[in-house]
Copies of this chain bind each other. A is one copy, B any other.
Amino acid sequence: MSTPRRGRPAKAGRQEDILEAALEAFSRTGFAATRIDDVARRAGISKGTIYLYFPSKEALFEGVVRHFMVPKLDRVDELRAGHIGSADDLLRMQLATVYREIVGSRLREILRLLLAEGPRFPELLAFYHAEVVDRAMAGLRATIELGIAQGVFRPNSARDFPQVVMGPAILAGVWTLLFDSFAPLDLDAYAEAHLDILLRGLAKDRTGC
């Protein structure tokens, strides 16, 4: 009743195909309402084949959430490692990357999936906290401390709570997923506003005369 390819397809990317299909499917309908059959159809394979690569629906979900975000984090980290210059430029670039690669891409769906299903997947949360969230917070904190050392940023409490720096970006990501049809968000202008308020909030007082 379906029309899968009977021949031997490239099997190298088979797992990748499944993860792509699963990301789409979970994004659209969430964990519980997504049927394995949907994922299979999207991937152009049969239901049973999914189970050759993932032992359960839960494992597939975890696979999706783990697979796509880490590489982005790597990129943000590399940015900081290779940076020479002022901390505010670095922070600009870090947030620009977050907006481009996550908030403005399909990866924002993963943010939402994590918020949505996280409590059902404690191990996944642990992984995420260690491999994504904590790394991201550390990266921001490093930049802020660099700025303070450089005298660009005033000593400030964002050092202890880098979430304050990231908050508006995360909110933008989920906003677009929920309310875009009611009130679309111009992400570029939004990011500009975010950086405008943030950098001024962090900056050392220009009390010079």
User: Are B178 and A163 within 8 A (Cβ)?
Assistant: no
Nearest CB in chain B: distance from A32 CB, A: 3
In the bound complex, residues from chain B placing their C-beta under 8 Å from that of A169 are 167
Question: For residues 156 through 209 of chain A, which have their beta carbon under 8 Å from a beta carbon of chain B?
Answer: 156-158, 160-161, 163-172, 174-175, 177-179, 182-183, 185, 189-190, 192-194, 196-203, 205-207, 209
Q: Does A16 contact B (CB under 8 A)?
A: no
Q: Chain copies in the assembly?
A: 4
Docked complex Cα distance between A148 and B174 (Å): 29
User: Are B125 and A193 within 8 A (Cβ)?
Assistant: no
In the bound complex, residues from chain B placing their C-beta under 8 Å from that of A167 are 167-172, 194
Closest Cβ neighbor of A163 among chain B residues: B171
Q: Does A119 contact B (CB under 8 A)?
A: yes
One of A62-70, A75-83, A85-93, A126-134 at the interface: A126-134
Among A158, A164, A175, A200, which residue has the most Cβ atoms of chain B within 10 A?
Answer: A164
Q: How many residues of A contact B (CB 8 A)?
A: 60
Q: Does A118 contact B (CB under 8 A)?
A: yes
Q: Does A12 contact B (CB under 8 A)?
A: no
In the bound complex, residues from chain B placing their C-beta under 8 Å from that of A199 are 201
